[in-house]
A and B are shown apart, each in its own frame.
Chain A
Amino acid sequence: MTTTSRRRALTHHHLFWPVAVLIALLLVNVPFTPDFFSINMTDGHLYGSLVSIVLFGSPLILVAVGMTLVIATGGIDLSVGAVVAITGALTCSYISDQADQNTLSAVFLAMGIGLVAAVVCGLWNGFLVARMGIQPIIATLIIMVAGRGVAQLITDGQIITVNSEPYKLIGGGYWLTLPFSVFVVAAVVAVTVALTRRTALGLLVESVGGNAEASRLVGIRSTRIKIMVYMFCALCAGIAGLMISSNTSAADGNNAGLWIELDAILAVVIGGTSLLGGRFSIGGTVVGALVIQTLTTTIYTIGVPTQTNLVFKAAVVIVVCLLQSPKFRAKVFGAKGPKGPQRDTAPVEPAPAADAAPKMEVSR
């Protein structure tokens, strides 16, 4: 292997650009915060910018991982933000009803209730998409609209605060010097990767996303796979909901997880998963979520007014999508040339020219 071919193999790896963007963003911070990369130990806990990026990015990573699988089946889940709110609301309202909020069994029961509710939401989404054949954007819109209402109904329109030590651990606690949420995220990601890459499940998901009808004809139960994927996505959102409400020790039906679905989709797209379905990369999504969180942190640290955060995000969405668009690459870089700098994403993008137009058909 020559150096050039090795370099090409590196730059053509599907994680190359997301990771490069992440590193670049991290480096941007250094001139503004010289000790950006330093991590210090205080009271047996690790502190530092990198740790807080991971800590604050945890819910987003979780939601985005679930979203990746949904998008891989050619769907999309807009309801995750509402699911985050519902889970947080249910769990917190149950805990706050307890006489002793520190009882471990009560906290576990509360979390169980919250997660079951989340999974039921996912089941409903999956049922509408897979059984009824409704467009995913629309099917999940229902819970997106109604879900926040339900969450407010549960909390009675109030912000419910809890005062529970064990519950605080999930989103704000430390374990083995690291934020506990990092372990939760690591566990979820590991399980997801194991299930999708060590078993045939990932392949099945991709085949359903590639062509649901064809995969049904070769004997894959595409309906069941889709329903499962939506349930998994909602479960991830539910865990994220626990984390968010635990971090603030409060459930806010109106604002918890607001717009997290959009960030999650963005993370998935940055990670190189095509919105058309058929391929996915969990690793890419994790990196994508970290990119978004780093972007937010960077905006804070370099002193740009925080309110421009959204403008930056919009710019990133557009740039990333343009770079992934075969047509844009063809027009600007001449994508046929071997030196096209963004060619690495080409294998990730299954969109052939004739079929590139987004399909708004009802999927079956």
Chain B
Amino acid sequence: MSATAQTPKAAPRGSTAPRARAARLLGDRRLPVLVTAALFIAMYVAGLSRYQNYGFGEPQVFLNLFIDNGYLLVAAIGATFVIMSGGIDLSVGSVIGFTTMFTAWLVERQGLPLLLVVPLALAVGAFGGFLMGYVIHNFEIQPFIVTLAGLFLFRGLCLVISKESISISDASVGTLAQTRVSLGMGELSIGALVALVVLGVACYVLHYTRFGRRVYAIGGNEQSALLMGLPLGGTKIAVYTVSGFCSALAGLLFMLYIQSGDPLHAVGMELDAIAAVVIGGTLLTGGSGYVLGTLFGVLVLGLIKSVITFEGTLSSWWTKIATGVLLCAFILIQRTMTARRKT
């Protein structure tokens, strides 16, 4: 908003039009998303030139990004809602782990049909999110601490169900996991399709509905939103419910992807989700960002993993280091942007 207000100061007497343009560009809310998109393309092109002989250029390699990271995308979308509203949800990874365990236990040990288990798991996740939102709003405890308790609780519940992993041999799960939908140039899994649908729905909800505007408003300035008469509590609780639901859905996709329940599944995935959201250009202070940015954030993280796989010699810890470095870079970009906007 202040990009234009600031222009006269930055550009005295029309002598430095490029600088003014640069200032306007730096103040643009879309910049972080564009940077991430550009980074993704640059990484992809670099990968193409380096591993062309190893089949990096195949369309399927690109589609595999969605197949291999569908669950992360769904979880990150949930996290986007929370972060957009100015909160944080640390329970994501635990809820994912719990969902894999819960569904595996119900399907394998209790013999319930998948058709019943899926809605049940989603309901449990959403209810968990609702409870956390309820406590956060009604008792004014920091989201950080409440969702931390959620992290402990769901991870603990995983272990209560079983200490060992439960592999899923259920036929319907197997069929679902192996089903591939052909897109002509390649194919997508059911999980990837679900993730894309969630992406579409989230885009619509966050950018085109009243609820979405409220989320932005609360994240932008809670006090103002309250004074404007927005239903603060309802929106906040809804945001955590959405996050809980998305985490549970991500858990189901993860369960499909990996076909087992394990109490140690997805440990620390909340960090991946938060990192994806940040790299996607959503302001951690809330109130600004795009769901599409989160998609690019997830794709960038996914691409790091595929590049490391193609490289072969690089070890898995480089994923963590690269994620950290990227995270750092994007946080600093965000910081310079917000500093600019404030002046």
Contact = CB atoms under 8 A, between A and B. Distances in A.
A317 B149 contact: yes
Tell me what chain B mostly uses at the interface: helix, strand, loop, or mixed: helix
A231 interface: no
A42 to B, nearest CB: 33
B150 interface: yes
Nearest to A144: B271
Interface in B205-263: 222-223, 263
A311 B153 contact: yes
Contacts of B135: 318, 322
Contacts of A318: 135, 146, 149
A30 interface: no
A353 to B, nearest CB: 9
Given A146-B320, A146-B323, A146-B324, A317 B148 contact: yes
B326 to A, nearest CB: 9
Contacts of A135: 284-285
Contacts of A144: 271
A74 to B, nearest CB: 12
B144 A307 contact: no
Contacts of A182: none
A145 B275 contact: yes
B21 to A, nearest CB: 26
Contacts of B145: 265, 269, 275, 317, 321
Kindly name the residue among A76, A148, A321 whose own CB sees the greatest number of chain B CB atoms within 10 A. Answer: A321
B155 A310 contact: yes
B284 A138 contact: yes
Interface stretch (A61-69, A193-201, A354-362): A354-362
A134 B148 contact: no
Contacts of A326: 140
Nearest to A269: B145
Given A262-B152, A311-B152, A361-B285, A137 B144 contact: yes
Contact of A149 (B152, B284, B318, B331): B318
Contact of A142 (B159, B318, B328): B328
Kindly name the residue among B88, B148, B271, B338 whose own CB sees the greatest number of chain A CB atoms within 10 A. Answer: B148
B321 A313 contact: no
A313 B152 contact: yes
Contacts of B148: 262, 265-266, 317
Nearest to B278: A138
B150 A362 contact: no
B325 interface: yes
Contacts of A153: 315, 317-318, 321
A308 B163 CA distance: 10
B317 A145 contact: no
Contacts of B318: 149, 153
Given A142-B331, A317-B148, A321-B149, A149 B320 contact: yes
B318 to A, nearest CB: 7
Contacts of A314: 149-153, 156
Interface string A307-349: 1111111110110011001111001000000000000000000
B31 interface: no
A53 B153 CA distance: 23
Contacts of B331: 128, 134, 138-139, 142
Given A141-B327, A321-B149, A132 B335 contact: yes
Contacts of A327: 138-140
Tell me what chain A mostly uses at the interface: helix, strand, loop, or mixed: helix
Contacts of A162: none
A308 B222 contact: no
A325 B139 contact: yes
A362 B286 CA distance: 10
Given A152-B317, A307-B160, A311-B153, A325 B338 contact: no
Contacts of B143: 358
Nearest to A142: B328
A285 to B, nearest CB: 15
A328 B135 CA distance: 9
B141 interface: yes
Nearest to B319: A149
A138 B338 CA distance: 15
A141 B156 CA distance: 23
A77 to B, nearest CB: 12
A143 interface: yes
Given A142-B327, A145-B327, A360-B86, A310 B140 contact: no
B183 interface: no
A325 B152 contact: no
Kindly name the residue among B139, B150, B151 whose own CB sees the greatest number of chain A CB atoms within 10 A. Answer: B139
A356 B140 contact: yes
B157 interface: yes
A266 B142 CA distance: 13
A196 B88 CA distance: 32
B327 A313 contact: no
A137 B155 CA distance: 21
Interface string A234-258: 0000000000000000000100000
Interface string A260-272: 0010011001000
Kindly name the residue among A76, A132, A266, A318 whose own CB sees the greatest number of chain B CB atoms within 10 A. Answer: A318
Given A141-B274, A325-B141, A356-B140, A262 B324 contact: no
Nearest to A332: B139
A362 B271 contact: no
A350 to B, nearest CB: 13
19 contacts: A142-B327, A142-B331, A146-B325, A149-B319, A153-B315, A153-B318, A262-B148, A262-B151, A269-B145, A307-B156, A307-B159, A307-B160, A307-B163, A311-B160, A314-B152, A315-B153, A317-B149, A321-B146, A322-B141
Interface of B: 86-88, 135, 138-146, 148-153, 155-157, 159-160, 163, 222-223, 263, 271, 274-275, 278, 284-286, 315-321, 323-325, 327-328, 331-332, 335, 338-339
Q: Nearest 4 pairs between A and B by C-beta?
A: A146-B324, A149-B320, A310-B156, A307-B159
